[in-house]
Amino acid sequence: MSSSDALDPSVISQFVTSEYVQTGAAALVCYEYMITITDEISSVWLQKFSPVSLLLVSTRWAILIETILQLIPATADKYAACKPILILMQVCVQLGSIQVALFSSLRVSAIWGRSVVLFVVILALGLAPLATNIYTLSKSSYPFLPSPFAICSQTINISDGAYTVCKLTCRFLYALTNPPGHVVVYITRIPLIASDILVLILTWIKTAGTFRTARRLNVSAGIVSCLLRDGTIYFFILLVLNIAQLLTRVGIVSPIAALVDVMPPLLISRFILNLRHAVHQSDGNAAESTSGYDASQFSAPNFRIPPSLVGNMGEFLHAEESEDMYDDLGWHAAEETRLSSELI
Centre a 10 Å sphere on the Cβ of residue 277 and count the other Cβ atoms it contains. Answer: 17
Instruction: Supply the range of the domain harboring residue 268.
Output: 3-273+305-343
Asked if the model's pLDDT at residue 91 lies above 60, the reply is yes
Count of structural domains, the chain: 1
In DSSP terms, which residues pair with 156 in a beta bridge?
140
CA distances from 43 to 37, 49, 86, 145, 265 (A): 10, 9, 32, 43, 17
Task: Assess if residue 262 is contained within a domain.
Answer: yes
- As a whole number, mean pLDDT of residues 286-301 equals 41
pLDDT band at 265 (very low <50, low <70, confident <90, very high): very high
**Res. 225 pLDDT band, cuts 50 70 90:** low
| Cβ(252)–Cβ(154) below 8 Å | no
Residue 326, domain member (yes or no): yes
Q: Taking 60 as the threshold, does the pLDDT of residue 287 lie above it?
A: no
Percent of the chain with pLDDT over 70: 60
Residue 186 lies in a domain: yes
User: For the ranges 146-155, 156-165, 169-178, which has the lowest average pLDDT?
Assistant: 169-178
Q: Mean of the per-residue pLDDT values for the chain?
A: 72
Within 8 A by CB and 6+ apart from 266, the residues are: 28, 29, 32, 63
Torsion angle of the four alpha carbons 165, 185, 74, 86, in this order, in degrees rounded to the nearest 10 = -70
Asked whether residue 292 is assigned to any structural domain, the reply reads no
Mean pLDDT for the stretch of residues 63-91:
78
CB burial of 83-120 (b: ≥16 within 10 Å; e: otherwise) equals: bebbeebbebbbbbbbbbbbbbbbbbbbbbebbeebbe
296, part of any domain: no
Q: What is the CATH number of the domain that holds 191?
A: 1.20.1070
Length of the chain: 344
Alpha carbons 73 and 65: distance in angstroms, whole number: 15
| Separation in Å, CA 131 to CA 136, 167, 229, 250 | 9, 18, 34, 23
39 falls within a domain: yes
Q: Specify if 330 maps to a domain.
A: yes
Distance of CA 236 to the CA centre of its chain: 11
CA distance 232 to 245: 20
pLDDT in tens, 167-218: 444 444 444 444 545 666 777 888 999 999 999 999 888 877 766 776 777 6
| Any domain includes 172 | yes
**C-alpha distance across the termini of the chain, in Å:** 51
Helix (H) or strand (E) holding 8: none
